A and B are shown apart, each in its own frame.
Chain A
């Protein structure tokens, strides 16, 4: 009996000391959560959230100064993913999000001024001076940085078109 109490007390004390020392010497600099959040963000650094790039937004979301809903290109899906990661509940009703969108060029309006291709963070807009521009669907993150640069309103945000390769069987209605 006494041997058991003694050995457990000693064990507890020894482990406690080890933990204390480890806490002192193996402390992690920075917040690993921020890195995980950066990995989830679109990464185009479009600045619509008001922070300097995606890493800034990730840091702000991690320390609670920004809401998980602050990223418009990420939309509802990103907001719910971040909320699940941080264990938060978010109010999605405030987000005007009807699925992911990408920029598209109305070819009859484009004058080929190249202003949009200069601001695109992912080089998703192709086109030369005085030539009609176009958007690579696969490279556009939907950050809408290009929209306000267009002098003729040829660029508009449209829902990502559903193709045969991207179609998903709808979920059956609940029983």
Chain B
């Protein structure tokens, strides 16, 4: 208990913000299952890491659950066919990304049969070696379903290697508007707990702490009932506060341990997974089913009928919205389209963007919810400093970034920023603080890339010079050799001629 902790104890540890959660009524409505659409658009990169590589050809028929793109590299995930049908194209489509740029994707036309391929089931996952579970999860293409879509198997096997003691299950769902994890915990608590126990086995952790925000009492009750027989799975209600679902914050609240600034959760013996991921892991191990569908929250003031919908990966947002009941007044008053949560999700340019593995929500906001306002000068009130869950100084960092003094911003802790957006949310002057930080992080990554590139091209230039020199040297050597051979041959010929001459002279004499 250092001095700062004592200080915090008296002041009250009041990081974060308390936005209106807007989770109900969507959270209280039963889940609807969307039928398979006519066409599915499957981006090759739905996860963090290397993009997957297609293993199918155009025109090929595939069954539901069949591998259509394989993982490439250490951190990557494969992609499976969400339904049976025919591959019609491998082409570029608009990415679910704020840039509106394209990315390569496989387009699958459904045949309506929705017929599974052969699946590898497992009745007793606890008899499998832990490494095998990691392998099967990797093969099923399971990624973190909380939003960042980090390949889950990498975390499972990494946790086993790092010998973590605690598995933190993230059921915080601190983003306003979203309720898909809430709904899963209410409806499938027993399966989630089973998935958590499989993950405990796969990571070698002794205890699983399930953090659920106290604004989801139904989910807490359901999970507590499901976990009643298992001592290793502990349900821990946590205060509702944004960003409680952030990895570092949830670890600190549940375990009291802090992830070091340049470290990872593994370093303090913890690994964090989302509750939805536990369900996907269970399906991958028990039934052998790859990740081909997910629960998506459809919400926002412009939605006619908000709720949670089970959607096949690759379904266009447009079709999900029309299945849910469409937009109010056919989209009149629509101010912003968002995929993911309102705080950290992505603004998308139009609705013809597919749902990917990490899509937790499709939100349509009206002008009142967006409340865009021109920024005013900073009044140095310090609200952002108080709200920052990482204890940074957003106002100072943003002023450095505004003047492109990126190295000074790094000294102030830019790399620790988790881009949660609390600073911009509380700012009374409506300064786009988090937008500055996201911009600066992108800029720094671009500078790093440029440096790597320059180093690589320099190496290429040096190699070329070496090659040209070597070629010139070899040519000169070959010339010299040929010349020497020619001279030797000429000398030998001359000698032979001279000898013959001597002989003829001798004969004549």
Contacts and interface: CB of A to CB of B under 8 A. Distances in A.
Given A123-B463, A171-B439, A42 B454 contact: yes
Contacts of A45: 461, 465
Given A122-B464, A168-B446, A174 B457 contact: no
A126 to B, nearest CB: 13
Interface stretch (A11-19, A57-65, A158-166): A158-166
B461 A169 contact: no
B284 to A, nearest CB: 28
Interface string B440-457: 001101100110011011
Contacts of A124: 457, 460
Interface in A133-157: 138-141
A171 B103 CA distance: 23
Interface residues of A, number: 25
B95 interface: yes
B457 A175 contact: no
A170 interface: yes
A50 interface: no
A121 interface: yes
A172 interface: yes
Contact of B458 (A43, A77, A138, A163): A43
Contacts of B429: 175
B435 A169 contact: yes
Interface residues of B, number: 38
Interface string B161-193: 000000000000000000000000000000000
A166 B448 CA distance: 11
Interface in B73-97: 95, 97
Contact of B461 (A44, A164, A168, A170): A44
Contact of A170 (B101, B439, B449): B439
The interface residues of chain A, by DSSP majority, are classed as: loop
Interface string A101-144: 00000000000000000000111100000000000001111000
B438 A164 contact: no
A82 to B, nearest CB: 14
A174 B461 CA distance: 41
A172 B432 contact: yes
A139 B461 CA distance: 10
A164 B99 contact: yes
B453 A162 contact: no
A25 interface: no
Contacts of A169: 98, 435, 438-439, 442
A136 to B, nearest CB: 9
B88 to A, nearest CB: 23
B460 A122 contact: yes
A44 B435 CA distance: 36
B456 A175 contact: no
9 contacts: A122-B461, A139-B460, A162-B99, A162-B101, A163-B101, A164-B101, A168-B445, A172-B432, A175-B375
